Every structure is written in C-alpha cells, then in structure tokens.
Structure 1
C-alpha cells in the first residue's frame, strides 16, 4: 500500500515573493529556513507525489458554484496564472502532474458527502500553489504534484470537523487506492491570520497565530477541533485566516500527533501572519 511520507503546512502569503525584501533580515531568515526545511524533507523522505491542499481563492469557479475540493488532474502543473504574475513576481514553473493517482483518489472519495470535482483542463494557480512551489524549490526535487484546491471562504463550506474528516478519508484512499510503496507527501498551504481587502487588511492577529501554532505543537486534535473553529478563524481575520482549514485536512490525514514548529513571523507589510509546521510521522 502507498504510505504518507511527510506532512507539513506553511503560509502562502503573496508578500513572501512579491514583497519579501521589505521585511527585516531576521524575519526573512526564519521564512527561508522554514521553506528550506520543506524542500529538504521532501528529498529526505523519498516523496514521489506531493499533494498541495490550498484555498482556491474563487479563481476557478463562480461564487455560486464553488466546489468544496477540486482535484487537478492534468498532466502538467503550470503557473502562475498570467493575471497573478505582477504581484507574485515568481518565475514560471512547469511541473509533472499526477492525473492517474489524482483520478483514483477522486473516484474513491466521490461518496465522501462533499462536493468534489476533477479538472483535466488548466487550472489557474495563484499564491496557493505558486508560493510553496517557488519558496521550497519543488522543481528541484523531481516530485509529481497534485494540487487539491479547496473552498475556504464562500459559505456554505466544510468546517474544521468536515475538513478533518475529509483528511482521514483522503489518507485511507491513499493507502488503499494508490500503488504499493508509492510515497505521498501532504502540504497544507495557507494562513495564518489575515483579512484580504477587509477593514483589518493591514493587521495581523499575532495572539491567535501563536495560540494556533502552540495547539498544533501539543498535538491535541480534539482540543483543536473544539476551540479552533471556523468562526474563531474568522474572528482573527475574515476571508483569509480560514485557509487554515487546509492544515486541518493534513491533520486529519495523519491523526492526533504533535508537530514541530518551523518558525513564525508577524510582519505587517506582508499582510499575513506567516508560519510553518512539520508533523512527526
């Protein structure tokens, strides 16, 4: 059976690529080290397929018809989308996709109770995929990439418990539906606190971010699901902080266990709290 070879999560704030040099060197050092750790863990773990779970940002469907999760089933993962290039300021990338593995997972999970869709045409990738792919130098690792785009913003959407349960189902599908000995990595992409375009656009809720990171390090998933709810995320920054639901998917996939913090930065000009973690498998 296939195995989950790594489980990590990190912020994908566009400021990390578009305005990286605005931050103090100490903050930049923390972020570089975190994404270097992601790169190194992918290589060291022998990961062959990396599933990136991240907010769709309503870039690939209309607001009134936004699926809960969209599986990218194309042969190549190419980006960033033209519209996002001026503010992301990253080089173009062209990575191997995983259409066969993605289709197997999609078919196995269709009865999950969520609105799942598979797309073989070109999806538009913004910071959700472009930032982690660029910052962790995914192209250098040779792994295939399966983006799993998620509705984190438009109600009704799967809350923290539903995302955690979907992560459990995803892990089971990985183990039972994918080729034996395939090593599959999971990367939750998004967060931490931010409110894009809202009245708190330039504010970071550092207290919430550090509380969230501490909860993950402790590894008490029951407490996290009870206290770090979708509503609590919205209080920390509406329309943005709930990208942490992508982290919830990864949490569900690996089950209750502690993780290691790879660092946290609250730099207001990035307009987002930035952090990363690695679960201990």
Structure 2
C-alpha cells in the first residue's frame, strides 16, 4: 500500500490573508492542528502529496471546465493572487511530471480526467501548502474537482474519483499522501461572506468521520446551496477523500467557525490502517 496518508483541511484565503483579525486563541489552535497534519504527513514517509482542491476560475474557466483534472508538470508557481492580499509570498512548488503521468494513466482506467502541463496555484492549494510543506521540500501534484461552474459532477463521481486516486497511488512505488481541501459551509464573494452554518458543518463532518457512503452521497446541490452556500459545493473534495479511504473511520482534529476567515475551519484525517482498498482495475 503506497497511499500513506489521507485527510482534509480548509483553504479559504482569509486563513492567511486576515490572520491578524481572527481571535488569536482559536486561530492558533487551528494553525496548530494544521501543523500536526504536517507532522503526520512527514511521519507517514510520504514522498509526494496530491492536493485535491476546488479551483477558483484561475486556470479553468467556462470555455474549458473539466470535472476532474490533475497537474502533470515538474513545478507549479503560486500564488496566482496578490501575495500581499493572500499573505503568502511567491513560491515555486516542486512537481514530478513522470509520477503525475503514471498516476493519471492509472486514474484514466476508470475515471475520465483532464491533465494540465501548466498550472498556477491559487489559494485553494497555496494555503494548504503554506502550512503542510513550508519548505517546499515535498513533491506536489495538484488535482481539481469542478466545484464552481454547473453542471457539477455528481457526488458519486467525486467518490469514484477518490477511489481511482487510491488505486493509482497504490500502483506506484512512491509513498503518496492525499489531502482534500475546500470549505464546508461558506458564502465566498457574496454579501453573506462570513456566514457559517455550524450545525450543517457538524452533521457533514459526522458523516465524513463515519465514512458513511450512503449519507455522504445523499446530499443534493439545491439543499447544499440553501444550507451551506455555493462554497458548500466543495464538499466534493471531502467526499473524494472518503472514497479513497473507503471503509476507514476518520477523526476531526479541529473544527471551528471563524467568520473572519469566512469558513468553517477544519482539519481531519482517516486511519488508513482500517478499511478495504478499492478493487484494482
């Protein structure tokens, strides 16, 4: 088994860009949980990390919006946003074109996936990297699920994508960490920015911890939009991680609504010592 870590974390730009405006006690606890995730990934022996995010019209737009995409390059520059606004300096994250191609080829056996040989990282990946590989000494493979422009891939397809990523990771000799990143409830770039539905988040995280496929796939986009905002569509990245860790149970290491960060902030992981590996194809 070469998938050595699977977890999820939040990625809102305010997490780094408005750090000075948050309650310091809650902020520091959140940052500490992120640092614990970094240490767990390092302890797992991961040689590369797939970061599965929701891209925000930075690289993919309405003229070309793949449901699923994976980067296939030897490096990735970021952040695409103003560093002063995001609170993250310009960086170049190391990639591995050969490893990406091997993973993509395996994913393609069961899930149609686009690939990108150029990819500028926005906050959806830049924020997690800021905490999880601050020295940029871990090979990064960006991946994306369209959570922005309807029609969106059904949740069962996000689950299947996660399973395909697991099979791909288990097919290569390199040790792979898989991190899904997004929001849970949030209403970004709207008059409701900063609104968080804590009850909805906790219900979702309960389903996620139990890795309850039936209940995770039971959400529909209209109810998610009503209860969790358009940012709630990013549960697809969390669902994909559940698919990759099918049968395992999870732990939420941190959750708190932090309105100035405009999202319910989460750090969570699955115990890969449990559960069944998806059947190979």
Q: Which residue of 2 aligns with 1:158?
A: 153
Any residues of structure 2 matched to 1:162-173 within 5 Å, and which?
Answer: 162-173=157-168
Residues of 2 paired with 1:86 and 1:276: CA distance? Answer: 25
1:197 to partner: Cα distance: 2.4
Q: Which residue of 1 aligns with 2:278?
A: none
Residue in structure 2 matching 1:232, options 203, 207, 223: 223
Structure 1 position 130 matched with structure 2 position 126: yes
How many aligned residue pairs are there? 272
Gaps of 5+ in 2: 273-281
SS at match of 1:140: coil
SS at match of 1:105: helix
Mark the CA change 1:84 to 1:239 in structure 2 (over 3 Å): closer, same or farther.
farther
Q: Which residue of 1 aligns with 2:277?
A: none
- Asked if the contact 1:11/1:190 (under 8 Å) is kept, the reply is yes
- Asked if the contact 2:93/2:136 (under 8 Å) is kept, the reply is no
* Structure 1 length-normalised TM: 0.90
1:199 to partner: Cα distance: 4.2
Q: Which residue of 1 aligns with 2:88?
A: 90
- Asked if the contact 2:184/2:201 (under 8 Å) is kept, the reply is yes
Gaps of 5+ in 1: none
Higher helix share: 1
- Asked if the contact 2:196/2:264 (under 8 Å) is kept, the reply is yes
- Asked if the contact 2:76/2:120 (under 8 Å) is kept, the reply is no
1:69 to partner: Cα distance: 1.8
Runs of 4+ that moved beyond 4 A: none
Residue in structure 2 matching 1:117, options 108, 114, 133: 114
- Asked if the contact 1:95/1:145 (under 8 Å) is kept, the reply is yes
- Asked if the contact 2:211/2:242 (under 8 Å) is kept, the reply is no
SS at match of 2:230: coil
Residues of 1 paired with 2:192 and 2:155: CA distance? Answer: 23
1:243 to partner: Cα distance: 1.1
CA RMSD between the two structures: 1.8
Mark the CA change 1:248 to 1:120 in structure 2 (over 3 Å): closer, same or farther.
same
Residues of 1 paired with 2:156 and 2:50: CA distance? Answer: 20
Residue in structure 1 matching 2:214, options 210, 222, 233: 222
List per-residue Cα deviations over 1:68-87 (Å, max 9, x = no partner). 12211111122112x34232
1:192 to partner: Cα distance: 1.7
